[in-house]
Amino acid sequence: MSAVMRTLVRVRRRLRLMATLRGLGEAALLAAGMLLGWTALHRLGVLAGGSASAREILGHRGALICAGLLLASGMLRRAFARLPLRLVAHRIDVSHGLADRLRTALELSATAPGSGLVSCALADAARAAAAVAPSRTAPLRWPPYLRWTGLLVSAAVLLALLPRSAPASPSRRVPEPPRLAVAAELLEPDREAVRELARRATAAGDAENAQVASELERLIARLERGELSRKEFFDRLAALEQRARDAEAELEALRQRLRKAGHELSQHRLTQKTGQALGQDRLAAAGQELSNLGRALEQRSLPLDDKTERELGRTLERAARETGAPPPSPTPPPSPPPGAQRSESPRAQQEKAPASPSPEQEGPRRLTRETAPQTSQPGERRADGAARPEQQLQHLQRNLGSAGSQLSQGRGGSGGGQGQAAQSLRQAGETLRQMQDQFDRAERNAAARSAMSDLKELARRQGTNQQAPEPQPGPQQAQAGGRSGQDPAGERPEKDQEADPTGSPQAQAGLGGTPSGQEGQTPRPQPGQAGQQGQAGQENHGAQGSGDRAARAGTSPSPGRAGTGQGENKAQSQAERLRDFFRRAQGQEKTGDEEPSPSPLSGLPAPPSAPGQKTPGPGGEQDAPGADSGQPGTPGPNTTPTGDNRPGDAHDPHLLGDPTRIAAHHVTQKLQGAQGSGPSRSATILGASERGFATTAYRRVYGDYNAITEEVMSKERVPPGYRYYIKRYFQLIKPRE
């Protein structure tokens, strides 16, 4: 027995060693995790505070001490764990296949008296113990979790070595807004208009409008390439519009001042023509008159007495004051487009806006600053050397005032004074002639604004189409394909729809648009087919001008386009009805904002019926539940569960005689089957045994019940739909022959 005990002790020692290594691995994993957490807390600054001694304790030295303690405790716990010898014996028996020889020997030596077989068993165990190899029972293994421990330690070291940086705020990825894409064909008219504007502005030396035209052209190009989102596009367009609007407002103020000045000048006979010309916004003519007056003064060809000279001087001074006076209440700005606050002037926005403008307001302002850097400072010289209207007005005021003061102070009689007045008047005349260019610029400005308005409308409509839901397969896809105009091969199909959104009577009658209307019903139209049809309609019926211009201008559509639009409307209507039918066929309630169901005779195509279903025969009892006959079960497409036509209430329209009416309150219920495999076989048998087994033959029971139902159906007025179900039910449960 001593041999067995020696083996057991030896193996137990080995087992303790391996347990110690295992404890080391487990403790190392814990320590590594602790180190990582410690380092993370340090990096986050949680353990950074406190006194110096506390920092020392909570620092890396403290972490290392804790890790060491963890390692030691883990190893010691495993090394000194309870390990009884019988367990060691069992492990040896299992590992060496000794059939419990050692365990039995250990127990028999302690309890049983030494009989012959026991002695044999002990001797057998001793022989087996001599061949025991401890390494087989407790093979040398690396401590567990070394890989994880290494990973954790590496992570802790990396975390400790990472340079400190400001905690980055969690960046939330803002989804990129969808790009606005407009077909090149749609943009071509606007591009042409902008080019024309640029040509005219360049020819007239109107640098500002030329710049606006250039900006617009770039905007159109980017829009065509799909580089702009909807918001970006409208922001940039609003900035350009703001520039044009500011320029118009400035010109309007200038016009008002000049008219007032003209009114003053028309009070004197010598400047009457000048004043009238100013009142009629003929600045060139007024300038010419002023120059002539100045030239006459200079040549002393005018019979001027002192009184007339002073009156002329005062008139000129009043006119100068009017030109320098702040503009009277400006004309009310044109009503802004719907939903566009961008139409307000930057000054008004500045007055209205709070101290810190919102980002939405900041965007157009920034764009305004970017696109119109020259307009940021009043009185600043333009790039081409032309003066701003305000400066020109100041020039005019200064010259008129100078001439007026010279003449009103009676110094005109002196040669020098009259010469100075004449020079001032000539300069004023020149200034007025230059200002005529500003007035000519207003026309180009209006053209630019018109082009911008067209672009805006086009983009708005395009954005509406893009926001529409994804086209569904089948008829909806055909409808969407005809409406969106996004088909690369298609040629502006949206024009066809825009041509007559409401549908003319002719179009509604489907006279002109039958082919295109059928196009909408095609389950899968060929790419661009609908658009080509629209173009064909334009060509055949002589659409005037470009299609989109006519459509946007609301001109009367050609019959071809109207027909196509009606066809798409029809397809859309049918698709809506089909969707509604399927929705209600699936038991979904109709929402309150939906359109009411069309009448049963509205030409709705019959929904796909189940195999075996038949439509009611004329004058007879129907053989199958029709889709729209209100049979029990699923409501038909033309009935709603909440309406009068509840399941079982409807009647066969071909029924002869008075319809029956069952005085019952119907409740539409949707029952769900129980999930799962059902009760077990034992539960089924047990339940059947508790209820009692059948004692009557099924055939007999069936015959009895079938006879009763036949009798009831022949005597009583059972609705045709119910008759079908009763017959079908008994047909299905009929016993086999």
Partner 1 sequence: MAAHPGTTASNELTPERASEQVAAFRRDVGRLIAEIGRVIVGHEDIVEGVVMALLAGGHILLEGVPGLGKTLLVRTLAEALDLRFSRIQFTPDLMPADIVGTNVITEDEHGHKRFEFQRGPIFAHLVLADEVNRATPKTQSALLEAMQEHSVTVAKQTYPLTEPFFVLATQNPLEMEGTYPLPEAQLDRFFCKLKVGFPSRAALHEIMDRTTRAEGVHATPVMSHERVLELRHLVRQVPVARSIQDYALRLLEATHPAAAPQGQKKGAASGVSLVQKYVRYGSSPRGAQAMLLGAKVRAVLDGRYAVASDDIHRVARPALRHRLILNFEGEAEGVDPDALIEAIIEATPEME
CB atoms within 10 A of CB 321: 16
Nearer Cβ to partner 1, position 104 or 629? 104
Nearer Cβ to partner 1, position 97 or 385? 97
Name the site residues for partner 1 (rule: CB under 8 A): 86-87, 90, 93, 99-101, 103-105, 107-108, 111-112, 115-121, 123-124, 680-682, 685-686
CB atoms within 10 A of CB 702: 14
Whose structure tokens read 């405790």?
Answer: 73
Nearer Cβ to partner 1, position 120 or 184? 120
Backbone φ and ψ of 685, nearest 5°:
-65, -40
Nearer Cβ to partner 1, position 15 or 372? 15
**How close are the terminal C-alpha atoms of the chain, in Å?**
83
Exposure class string for 662-698: b at 16+ Cβ within 10 A, else e:
eeeeeeeeeeeeeeeeeeeeeeeeeeeeeeeeeeeee
Give me the least distance between CB of 608 and partner 1, in Å please: 45
Rounded Cα–Cα distance for residues 632 and 702 (Å): 24
Nearer Cβ to partner 1, position 99 or 184? 99
Give me the least distance between CB of 102 and partner 1, in Å please: 10
Rounded Cα–Cα distance for residues 653 and 616 (Å): 9
Inter-axis angle of helices 85-96 and 2-44, to 10 degrees? 100
DSSP 530-585: HHHHHHHHHHHTT--S-HHHHHHHTPPPPHHHHHHHHHHHHHHHHHHHHHHHHHHH
Rounded Cα–Cα distance for residues 92 and 104 (Å): 12
CB atoms within 10 A of CB 515: 14
Nearer Cβ to partner 1, position 98 or 247? 98
Nearer Cβ to partner 1, position 119 or 588? 119
What is the Cα gyration radius of the chain? Answer: 49
Nearer Cβ to partner 1, position 100 or 246? 100
Give me the least distance between CB of 686 and partner 1, in Å please: 7
Give me the least distance between CB of 12 and partner 1, in Å please: 15
Give me the least distance between CB of 693 and partner 1, in Å please: 15
Give me the least distance between CB of 676 and partner 1, in Å please: 16
Whose structure tokens read 């076989």?
Answer: 681
Contact 88, 15 (CB under 8 A): yes
Give me the least distance between CB of 96 and partner 1, in Å please: 13
The residues pairing with 229 across neighbouring beta strands, listed in sequence order, are: 179
Nearer Cβ to partner 1, position 4 or 180? 4
Give me the least distance between CB of 18 and partner 1, in Å please: 19
Give me the least distance between CB of 582 and partner 1, in Å please: 43
